[in-house]
Amino acid sequence: MNKQNDTWVDPTQLLPKFGKFSAVAGILLVLLGGTGIILPELMSLEASLLIASLFVVGGLFWMIHSFKTKSHAWSEWLKPVLLLISGGLMLFYPMTGIATIGLLLAFYLLVDAYGSFMMAYMMRGEKGWGWMVFNGIISLLLAILFIIGWPATSLWLVGLYISISLLFDGWALLVIAWMQHKQDKN
């Protein structure tokens, strides 16, 4: 059984929830991921602009909150100002935003590689420990790929990374929806 939202979920009850909507979402994610693989620079730009827009909107909401609560403490205004400045800079200089995202992804992948190697070390000798080593090697290679050509490689690597993730998310949903459809026929 899986633990989900602090309640126990029977896996046999989870699969029927994957229906037609899962298939549609899967198809759309595969199309989006495939398009991003073909045009990774566009996907990188979209990701940077989305994050920048979220920063600006979040900064505005936070600023309105600080204004409405009549806060006079500078610490209450620091967060919205930083969000607005960061988002604004990313909107006006999207290439710098993409490079920053690339650097953050490289850092994430380094931490992920370390975690995978540590997990493999703890599991050594058990079934599946080799997959954790493999995962660590792939994460480390991706991090090195990001770092070697940074910031120039960020333009296509960020989009490619996001696109591959979307593509595999879509395939997973499609396979699960197909399995559910097959089970419903029986």
Instruction: Report the C-alpha gap between 143 and 29 in whole angstroms.
Output: 25
Instruction: Report the C-alpha gap between 24 and 19 in whole angstroms.
Output: 9
Residue 11 forms part of a structural domain: no
Residue 157 forms part of a structural domain: yes
Whether the pLDDT of residue 20 is over 80: the answer is no
Q: Quick check: 171 and 28 in contact, CB under 8 A?
A: no
Residue 5 forms part of a structural domain: no
Residue 138 forms part of a structural domain: yes
The arithmetic mean of pLDDT across residues 17-24, rounded, is: 75
Least confident of 10-19, 29-38, 79-88, 125-134: 10-19
Residue 39 forms part of a structural domain: yes
Q: Which residue has the higher pLDDT, 21 or 81?
A: 81
Residue 130 forms part of a structural domain: yes
Number of structural domains found in the chain: 1
Instruction: Report the C-alpha gap between 23 and 121 in whole angstroms.
Output: 38
Q: What is the pLDDT of residue 75?
A: 79
Residue 12 forms part of a structural domain: no
Q: What is the pLDDT of residue 1?
A: 47
Residue 100 sits in which domain range? 18-185
Residue 82 forms part of a structural domain: yes
